[in-house]
Amino acid sequence: MVDKPLGITVSRYIMDLQHMFPEAKGDLTGLLNELIVAAKTINAEVNKAGLADILGQSGKKNIQGEEVQNLDELTNNTIKKRMESCGYVCAMVSEEEEKVIPVKEGYSGKYTLAFDPLDGSSNIDVNVSIGTIFSIQKRITSSSDASSYDVAGTADDFLQKGNKQVAAGYILYGSSTMMVFTTGDGVNGFTLDPSVGEFYLSHKNIKIPKRCKYLSVNEGNYRHWDKNMQKYIEHIKDSEISSRYIGSLVADFHRNLISGGIFLYPKDKKDPNKKSGKLRLLYEAAPLAFLAEQAGGAAMDDTGKNILDIQPTGIHQRTPLIIGNKETVFEAVDFLKKHKN
Ligand code: AHM
Ligand code: MG
């Protein structure tokens, strides 16, 4: 029998990363490890969702005016409970909550955590891939003096450009459960072995393939787009490209990260202020943009602004998003500029 090498667990990987920075005190390591525990808990819930009486609408609406599903609530609470007294974060922002979520008194930490607890909510009830997206930044409302971390974080801590992220990633509950993240030193993917309950390094130093194989966009919104966006989609469909759209950003992004592709969620006329599109900057676009850049790709809005350079003015701000293969994203933006209405 051939000896199987022992896989590298995600916790081991994070610990090794910490050792590369002798000045690190272990807070980011601690925070990522807490997230991993939350991810395993959520994974267990997602996997038994069809069996337990937790599917379906809860009858409530979230701050975006969308129906909140029970699993949305469950995952939101799992992350909140895990993080509020871990001592590593000063406050949280979640897609499911209008206001900044405070941590327990006496447990304020060095980092902020913004998250979409369960992205792809329209896919929950129909057994299609969904995921948790997270973004971590250093708080700015206190000095680096550890004693001042006792003060709670505020919304200002979250209104930082995406290029200030220290870590970002997602957990994808798909045909297998994967955690993909970056701390600014490349992108790595870890697959959960459910029999052991550990995430093992399965996708080392992920780079988006050169060829842009897939186009991912909800063409059902075609009539609501600006003319230049309509023209661009016609233009790209005239090339060697296949269409793939799941409707869970995290799953669409993951496929394109592994196989090559461009994902677009343009602004549309359904949006009351007609300029932002559907996706949220802090906990959807920015963390995925960080991953895309680290994997050799790019992420921009429809004016050609790098997603990571957008200064947020609100914690639930939305942005048009064009993300994936660098060359194709740049071509898209050039085309849009040339054909501006
Ligand atoms: P959610 O966070 O409530 O699930 O909403 C965001 C999702 C994204 O995952 C996905 O890309 C998009 O909404 C799909 O929207 P649409 O159904 O308009 O195509
Ligand atoms: Mg989402």
CA-proximal residue: ligand 1, atom 16 (nearest): 247
Distance CA 24, CA 18 (A): 6
Would the CB of 119 count as within 6 Å of ligand 1? yes
Which among 326, 266, 265, 263 is positioned nearest to 294, based on CA atoms? 326
The answer on 30 and 148 residing in a single domain is yes
Ligand 2 center to 322 CA (angstroms): 16
pLDDT in tens, 275-295: 788 999 999 999 999 999 999
| Nearest ligand 1 atom to alpha carbon 122 | 4
Would the CB of 247 count as within 6 Å of ligand 1? yes
Q: Does the pLDDT of residue 240 top 70, yes or no?
A: yes
The answer on 269 and 194 residing in a single domain is no
Structurally, how many domains does the chain consist of? Answer: 2
Ligand 2 center to 308 CA (angstroms): 18
Would the CB of 122 count as within 6 Å of ligand 1? yes
Distance CA 121, CA 129 (A): 10
The answer on 229 and 169 residing in a single domain is no
CA-proximal residue: ligand 1, atom 15 (nearest): 247
pLDDT in tens, 127-159: 899 999 999 999 998 755 555 567 789 999 999
The answer on 238 and 198 residing in a single domain is no
Distance CA 40, CA 177 (A): 9
Q: Using CA atoms in the order 222, 226, 228, 232, what is the torsion angle rounded to 10 degrees?
A: -20
Residue 158 within a domain: yes
Domain boundary among 143, 177, 203: 203
For range 38-45, the mean pLDDT? 93
pLDDT of res. 270: 80
Domain boundary among 154, 177, 203: 203
Ligand 1 center to 249 CA (angstroms): 6
Sheet holding 177-182, edge to edge: 101-102, 89-94, 111-119, 130-138, 165-173, 177-182, 187-193, 198-203
User: Which residue segment(s) compose the domain that 311 sits in?
Assistant: 214-338
pLDDT of res. 2: 45
Would the CB of 34 count as within 6 Å of ligand 1? no
Residue 22 within a domain: yes
Paired sense of beta strands 67-69 and 165-173, if any: unpaired
The answer on 105 and 35 residing in a single domain is yes
Taking the CA of 220 as reference, the closest ligand is 1
The answer on 265 and 169 residing in a single domain is no
CA-proximal residue: ligand 1, atom 17 (nearest): 247
Distances (CA, A) of 335 to 3, 19, 29, 330: 54, 45, 42, 9
Question: Residue holding tokens 């206001």?
Answer: 99
CATH number, domain of 181, equals 3.30.540.10
pLDDT of res. 1: 43
Would the CB of 226 count as within 6 Å of ligand 1? no
Taking the CA of 321 as reference, the closest ligand is 1
Ligand 1 center to 207 CA (angstroms): 25
pTM score of the predicted model? 0.92
CATH number, domain of 240, equals 3.40.190.80
